[in-house]
Each structure stands twice: as C-alpha cells, then as structure tokens.
Amino acid sequence: MIVPALLTKEKSEFLRMLEICAGFTDFVQVDIMDGEFVASKSITQNDIATTKSETGSEAHLMVKEPLKWLDAFKTFGAKRIIYHFEIDQDHTAIIEKIKAMGFEAGLAVNPYTEISDFNYLVDAVDSVLFMSVVPGFYGAKFIPEVLDKIQRFKKIYPKKVAAIDGGVKFDNLARIRASGVDHVCVGSAILKDPDPAAAYLKFLKLFNE
C-alpha cells in the first residue's frame, strides 16, 4: 500500500492536496506538527475540525499532546491515529483513549528508537510506523539503517502492520520493499511532483512488482 502524506501549514493548500489525492487514491496520511515535538508547524486543529474528508485517512501526530487532536480528526473522518512513542506520557492511556473513540491506534517511532524500547506496546497497537528521516520536514534525508530495524521487527511480529515514512523515492523503493514493510508513506515525491497521480501510480507499480 502506497499512502500519500499531506504536509502543509496552509489550509487552502491542504484542501488542494486532498482534492488532488482523491483523484487517484482512497487513503491518505495527514501529517500534523505542533512546533514543539518537532520544530515545524502544520495546519491547526481548527483546520482539521472544519474539514470533512470522504477520502480514507490516518493522522500522523508529530505532537506532544496527541489526545488534543482526537476530536478534530473524528470530525474529519480519520480511520487511524498514529502518535509518537518518544513523547513523555502514559502510552497505555493514550492507546486506550484512541481506541475508545473508534480509531485504530498506530505507534510511530523515530529512526534511532530501538525495538526493545517500544516492544511492550506492540500488541496494543494496530500498526507501527517507522520513521526513516528525522521527522518534521518534507524532503529530509533518508536513513537506510531503519530498513534493518524493519526487517528485525517483521521477523519478531510477522502479522503486525509495519509502515515506513520519510525520504521515500523511486530509487530506494526496491530496498524498502525488501525490508518486508507493508505500507509506504510518500510525501514530497508524490505531492510535489508535477503530476502527482502519475507519480503515485509509478510508486504503486514498483512496490507491487
């Protein structure tokens, strides 16, 4: 599964991205940044809460307070909430709240977070999102060592959905696929391409060959 990742701080640009993606996919990732957990900021809670999407979606919350975003994404129509392991909060309580509101729960882990750090949470979540860049910006540098971590993870948890996010390009997709990952989130390589639909279809073809 190739998942276009939408990252912007302008609501008008976000709506434009949603409209473009609706023409070629039925599922997207909405990237949210608070300027605290990561340095950059994205669209706001109000931007999300005042938008209703017919396209299936997940939220990737690069924020210190993920629970503050749940109501907005419920209104938006998201299916899955992904939050970061690296925040200093009660993970069990966060996962329980996400599920209580009818979402799937996903755990995102930064490039240098080890499996042994978060393995006690794997059974409680529906998916794990492996960051292959230091999060917060479109176009950040890909960290190939993350692929080894995904391979190890899939050997331990073969039935758990594993996704990768960050720095995905046509020229590293074969290595990414070989890691055993299930979902690939692609941001700038699709949304900043002159023809996003053609770029998406090329990624899909290459990933499923």
The catalytic residue positions are: 31, 165
State whether the Cα torsion 137-141-144-145 is positive or negative.
Answer: negative
In angstroms, the CA 57 to CA 62 distance is 16
Contact 49, 76 (CB under 8 A): yes
DSSP letter (8 states) at residue 136: S
Rg of the chain (C-alpha set): 16
Helix axes 196-207, 11-22, angle to 10 degrees: 60
Q: Which two tokens stand for residue 20?
A: 């473009």
Contact 94, 83 (CB under 8 A): yes
